[in-house]
Amino acid sequence: MQNYILLDRDVVNEITETYLGRELKQLDMSVYFLLLFGGLAVLRYMSAEVGNNSLRFIGGGFMIFTLFARYFFNSFRRGRV
């Protein structure tokens, strides 16, 4: 004799809500970080107006990071399972 299990909507919801390995909704913060780093790269140009050379160094560092940001963000992205 074969045993059949009835799966209704309540059973499926209970299984999916208690399953620890389920995929969580994640926000893509890379756009916000890119805007932040781009805004900080403006410090390089602002240093000429203010006359502070340390702002030029900080802004240049963020400018270099922004150039390679695509590779950093792709490496930090979670792979699909």
pLDDT single digits (tens) 29-69: 778 888 888 888 888 888 888 888 888 888 888 888 888 88
CA distance linking residue 42 with residue 78, whole number of Å: 30
Sorting pLDDT into bands at 50, 70 and 90, what band is 71?
confident
CA distance linking residue 61 with residue 43, whole number of Å: 10
Model pLDDT, residue 39 = 85
pTM of the model: 0.51
Q: Which long-range contacts (CB under 8 A, 24 or more apart) does 31-34 make?
A: 33/69, 33/73, 34/66, 34/69, 34/73
Distances (CA, A) of 7 to 2, 10, 16, 44: 16, 8, 12, 62
> Does pLDDT of 20 surpass 70?
no
> Does pLDDT of 10 surpass 80?
yes
Model pLDDT, residue 81 = 45
> Does pLDDT of 21 surpass 70?
no
Q: Nearest to residue 42, comparing CAs of 65, 58, 29?
A: 58
